[in-house]
Amino acid sequence: MGNRDLGSLAGRWVVETLYEEKGFICAFRADEVHYEEATGQQHLVIFDNALFGRMMTLDGITQVTQRDEFIYHEMLTHVPILAHGRAKRVLIIGGGDGGILREVTRHKSVEHVTMVEIDPSVTEFCRKQLPQISAGAFDDPRVDLIFADGAKFVEETDKSFDVIIVDSTDPVGPGEVLFSEPFYRAARARLAPGGVIVTQNGVPFMQGDELQGTMEKFRKLFKVATCYLATIPTYVGGPMALGWGTDDPSLTEVPLEELKARFNAAGLSMRYYTPEVHKAAFALPRYVLDLLEA
């Protein structure tokens, strides 16, 4: 997602300067700072904001907010799982706050979840300071929580997965390797037949090069390389792109009625995701299509 400078506590404001070179910055008022530390891997701050509730930033980058986290976590999780329709084994790379894990474990049909997070401090802090994000998911007996480098994990494991969800930070620091072709190639090798990998690829209106980079690599590896969109208020500048790589073209063509049947059978209740939103998310505006086709 481009190169973000470290955010700073400017008085009572946490400033994010990702787009400073483009003439734009944003800031969140820190009504109360609960924690700030350089963890050894990343610079972490947890604070309260009147509009977004409790928030977490890593290296000055907004990662999650209490108010709108459900949008990102629902869309990055339920779109691939319901499109697949028979996912039993799911791999999460990153996602230390536990939001993706929470949503995956809502699917009773999922038999096993492996979550690989590089920084145990992030998970520890989130369990204490943002427990509503994981909502007890770390205690689910189906979960295997591993603290390790996600790129090395997919290179070394011999396990296969129906769905791989890459909930990474931006492509700087520890998250940079998760946008590389060797990582995507190793992840592809870990997909079971008919499997799908999804990734966070930033806000394409502001950070088109990130989406272009991933799609260029995906086109070398998958029969279907595309993205879908979700609008998340915290991530300013337009809808966020979620990358999609698979060798099964049918996964983007599941009929609406079938998605409804799968959704209802799963007994899920959502705040953002609906089968209709699922279908519409793959209808891309021209400027995003241009990035995919470049």
Pairing of strands 53-58, 61-65: antiparallel
**Residue length, the chain?**
294
Indicate the residue type of 168: S
Q: Please choose, from the candidates 109, 110, 90, 99, the residue with its C-alpha nearest in 3D space to the C-alpha of residue 138.
A: 99
Catalytic residue check, 162: no
In whole angstroms, give the CA distance from residue 72 to residue 209.
21
Q: Name beta bridge partners: 84.
A: none
Q: Where are the beta strands (DSSP E) in 110-258?
A: 112-117, 143-147, 161-167, 191-200, 224-230, 240-246
In whole angstroms, give the CA distance from residue 268 to residue 256.
16
Selected catalytic residue, list 158, 167, 170, 209: 167
The catalytic residues are 167
